[in-house]
Amino acid sequence: MLTAERLKELLHYDPLTGLFTWLITVNYNAKAGSIAGTLNKNGYIHIMIARKVYKAHRLAFLYMTGEWPKNLVDHKPPGVKSDNRWENLREATYTQNACSRKTQKDTKSGLKGVTLTPYGTYHTAIRFEGDVLYLGTHKKAVDAAAAYNDAAEILHGEFAWPT
């Protein structure tokens, strides 16, 4: 497994920009001084070291703390997956990471936690500790969104992602 010491022999991480640069020439694609990594189809930066692919945000955590994260590394809102500046990263559990997901694109209401009912009203609910908590039915989408956002802030704290 890659250690922090070996990582620092191969790459330099700039916590202000979030970029990794190669310290040594590894191959014709990875030359000393060049920016390391490629953008994958999901928007994350991947870096290959010794024939193994690593996500750059996880490498940033290793570089800065000297340890691999125990769970996940989350990108703070607005959630740009390629923004690996240290101030933009935080360790998160799987539950915390799920709380900070963006609104799904296929939702009919266009709002997180808000469902348009057949009666033209808006049903609001939020997940917390494995349960779905009903937050009420609202006549206006903006009121339903406000109810969700208030509950998310209370229940999920810094990991709440507003609708």
Q: Rounded to the nearest 10 degrees, how much is the dihedral formed by the CA atoms of 39, 44, 50, 52?
A: -120
Domain CATH number, residue 37: 3.90.75.20
CA distance 152 to 159: 8
pLDDT at residue 90 in the model? 94
| pLDDT confidence tier of residue 159, bands split at 50, 70 and 90 | confident
CATH of the domain at 116: 3.30.730.10
pLDDT at 95: 83
Q: What is the mean pLDDT of the chain?
A: 91
Q: Is 134 exposed, middle or buried (0-12, 13-18, 19+ CB in 10 A)?
A: exposed
Same-domain pairing of 41 and 85: yes
Q: Are 55 and 116 found together in one domain?
A: no
**How many domains, the chain?**
2
Asked if residue 64 and residue 133 are part of one domain, the reply reads no
Q: How far apart are CA 3 and CA 112, in angstroms?
A: 39
Radius of gyration of the chain (CA): 20
Which of 92, 109, 124 lies at the terminal end of a domain, its last residue?
92
First-to-last alpha carbon distance for the chain, in angstroms, is 39
Interval 67-98: pLDDT, tens: 999 999 999 887 899 999 999 999 998 888 87
Q: Look at residue 5 and give its three-state secondary structure.
A: helix
Name the residue range of residue 44's domain: 4-92
* Residues 147 and 73 grouped into a single domain: no
